[in-house]
Amino acid sequence: MLEKGLSASATAVVTAANTARAMGSGDMDVFATPAMVALMENAAMRAVAAALPEGATTVGAEMNCSHIKPSALGAEVTATAVLASVEGRRLTFNVGATDTAGMIGEGTHVRYVVDRARFLAKLG
């Protein structure tokens, strides 16, 4: 059952592959904002996965976040998502990301519960 307070985390190490330079979002070898966003989305997906009905999944729809501090190569980054509200199929999460020095990003993320087969049928 989907209830406020469900939470999960996802962790990644900053490598050459997830830097701003490699992802094309900047020209420095620091953790890329797109990588942080993906980690936040992954945490949110994990937070509710076990509570979904058979055949359902969630899809990301909105992300509003601030990337407030850089993380260097080798740093371990952990994103956490907490389900803040459930409005029908709309799930809103509070998300945050930290490294060993503290908070590096925070925001809100919206996902929708969808039927996996019906969603994929829309591909054409």
For residue 10, the SS3 value is strand
Q: Which of 11, 33, 92, 108 is catalytic?
A: 33
For residue 43, how many C-alpha atoms fall within 13 Å in the half-sphere facing its CB? 31
What is the C-alpha to C-alpha distance for residues 92 and 108, in angstroms, rounded to an integer?
7
Q: CA quadruple 94, 95, 99, 105: dihedral positive or negative? A: negative
> Is residue 67 annotated as part of the catalytic site, yes or no?
yes
Tell me whether residue 109 is one of the annotated catalytic residues: no
Given the residues 3, 19, 57, 67, select the one marked as catalytic.
67
Catalytic option among 3, 11, 15, 41: 41
| Beta-strand runs (E) in 1-124 | 7-13, 56-67, 76-87, 90-99, 102-115
Is residue 87 annotated as a catalytic residue, yes or no? no
Active site residues: 33, 41, 67
